[in-house]
Chains A and B, each alone.
Chain A
Amino acid sequence: MKYLPLVLANLGRHKRRTILTILSVALALFLFASLRTVVTTINASSRFGGARRLVALNATGLVFPLPLSYANRIKAMPGVHNVSWANWFGGRYGDGKRFFANFAVDPESYLAMYPEIVIPPDQRQAFLQDRTGALIGKRLLSEFGWKLGQNVTLQGTIFPGDWTFTVRAVYTPTDPAIGDDVLIFHHAYFDERIGRAGIAGWYIVEINDASQAPTIAKQIDDAFRNSSSPTKTGTEREFQASFATMWGNVSLLMGTIGLAVVFAILLVTANAMMMSARERTGEVAVLKTIGFSDRLLFGLVMLEAGVLALTGAFLGLGGAKLLYKATNFNAAGFLPGFNVTTATLILGVAVAVGLMLASGLVPAVRAARLPIVQALRHVE
């Protein structure tokens, strides 16, 4: 490490070049971290799901409802602890530009099943007692400037008309995959307004023993196989994963772009390193003459490349981490829990090390192999 000052002095010689190179590495790793986080966020949401929660849907497709009467039949099955149900509402707020999920649930059983949804006790009580009350994520509160007790009107797209709810409670999710921009309201009120159609979009079934999941899922499906609305039951994780696959080739796309970005910046860094090395041919010869070994010179060039790459990585990765954290970014609700993970940061550092090796290798080998006599001819 005693040679670090020498390396820094070399880097300081062309301050502009050093700064620009570091900045381009920083930008590349910023992009790399952002793209990678899109993928990890989608993956994390597909892994979400309580081990003891099953989801039952209509086997024909998720746009078809199930009869509300299934609740009691499922609840009576052995191994089932509790049942709740929900229905997608698809309401639009204001001009509809800011989309957020909203659905009707059976509040008491739903909240009991989702300890990830944290609500202050008094608000929870207020929500449970008000049939037209709404429970909203804390992001909606800050984004629309809503207040507790305020009336909020959604326009139904599937269920026509204006639906007014009173904001009674605000929740904070402990698992980011749940999303903090959801509006939840009472299924009883929903059912009443659509003329007691007695429908549920999906059932959530809490079971006693997670290892029994496949057996119970089959038991539920078997029970309704010959009815007008057969079910398809799976773990909550499978349900979530089916949404994640809807993104299609996004992971591949993000990966390809990430690769192109890193490669483009590799070219910039390698170029800068080669330019520096070429300009210093004479100096390297002098250093060799006064006794610097080939190996040491190789190391010095590599160290220089390393300082460039790692400083850039520090700025880019750190910048990404802080920026997304500070702005509470969630891609307009599409990627809840957007957070640069430690694994991504480590991968980013690995990329930077790769960048150092790839950009420093040619100049470093050249410096190590340089014949002194020839090189000194360049020195005027």
Chain B
Amino acid sequence: MKSDQTAWFDANLIAILLAINPRGLKGVTVKSQFGPVREAWLKYLKDLTVLCGSQILKAPANISADQLKGALDIEASLHSASLVMSKGLLERAEGNLLLLPMVERMDLQVIALISQALDEKNTVDPATHFGVVAFDESDNADEAISARLLDRLAFEIYLDQFSIADINESLEVDVQDIAKAKKRLPSVKCSNEYLEVMTKAGLSLGVSSFRANQFALETAKTLAALRGLAEVSQDEVIDAARLVYTPSKRMHINSEMDQADQESDENQDDQAQDEDIENQADDAQRDSESDQPNQEQPSKEDLEDMIVEAVKASIPPQLLHHPKKNLPAGKSAAHISGKSGAVQKNFLSGRPLTSRKGRPQDGRRLDILKSIRAAIPWQRLRGMMLDGDQQKTARSRIDFRTEDLHIKQYLRRRGTVTIFLVDASGSSATQRLAEAKGALEELLAQCYIRRDEVAMVSMRGSKAEIVLPPTRSLVRAKRNLATLPGGGGTPLAAGFRAVNEMAISLERKGLTPIIVVMSDGKANVNLHGVGGRESAHSDALMAAKELRIKNHRLLFVDTSPKPEILAQELSGAMAAQYFPLPFANSASSGKKISQAAMQLANS
């Protein structure tokens, strides 16, 4: 497998580049499951960093903000009777690489701290730079690495595509080469012409963040340094663009571009998008033709084309699809184990947050460590305030006061997620979609205080797709819903499965899902994507029963002109609240639906 071999070399190359220039490149996101390939890559990087005289520090997966920033070291403080702060991981990471496992599960605050440190330490003060290696182990679109961090790291590699056979050979590097490259790096130049080409190619590929452009430049320079050149040449430019302009840096942008020019039509599939990019590239070329006289060898335009081609060629085909848009339709209920009710919400559990002052009432748990920590500084002062007798008795123990008590806090997400399953098929699609949108926005507009989120899954053609992942952001909801396509068959079964899975994964996170199904109940595509009313309906019934087993809160909105037996049957099968809603004006029916959903949430 030749292409995989080169891709593996690319992964090697990225490790080398990172070892040379952690300051400018900042890090890499590794999208992969745990396995020999990732281990091999990590070992490769480890060896390199050791050669460079630094090391890889691994952060615990449940790292807290205190651990990152450093906190009071109780033991040492007690020993020395003075304040001793432990060194935070961020400080220890200076000059080294910081490895973040399971980055998709990390606390938002932790991610924010790390990205802030990346911004500050790596530019403001050159002595404190560090690099980040983020392991993203997410396997579905529900959980993904925070875009904030993704944007701040130069590279992104996908290791799941490799088999062990692909990684037998790795790029070999000489210690001296790396040392030399490090030394040479600050003096490497990049001509304006190449810089322009890279930026322009990025623009035509749909890269909008400036960081990506900056990273491409930095990569080109590092490559040149590695290859012993004093100036960036054409090869480095192409390689750098290939390595940096990875799909996630671009796809994210594509949807925004669609937004930017509103008239671009809704029904854009991937091919159309590709054409779009090409058109833009052409436009950009035409614009530039007048600017610059043709240079020797390949002209600027050719080079730009080459870059665009190189970047496109390097994308593994399975990644061409936006992960969020193309969630496998009804991934089968394989992972649903038999024990229903296993996912119980416990209001006293969740992801730990920093403790707060308070008394352990209502079953809240006392944070003993934190309470001791709060009491320690006061011991001397309190000791002095006590009179002699009391002092003798209190001597050996820690003198606690109520104000020292801290209680543990957990992040349990309050509120609910309302998942809309919308039948976007056929002729009446626009009307129904408008209603669903109305209901969804109505809910969102009121949900700020309630901390609710909404999501939307649409059924169309032969599959169900998540058009709006759970969000609280009105802006994002509008953006995703503005170009919601309609038409095609009604794969009810697939839709039920998709919302079921989504609801289960939300429950696991401690949220309460509420499912609102908007359909006329007339399924005509079965689970295998084949048309036919009867098999479609029996599949839908089956999927509806699956929903019932999971005990979700459901609202079935019958959108047919008059109450439909099929819909009632389905609604009964999933034990949903049945809500007939003949056509009406979309704004008012939106309100009705949202009210019903909210009642359901409060019940």
B partners with A: no
Q: Report A's interface with B, CB cutoff 8 A.
A: none
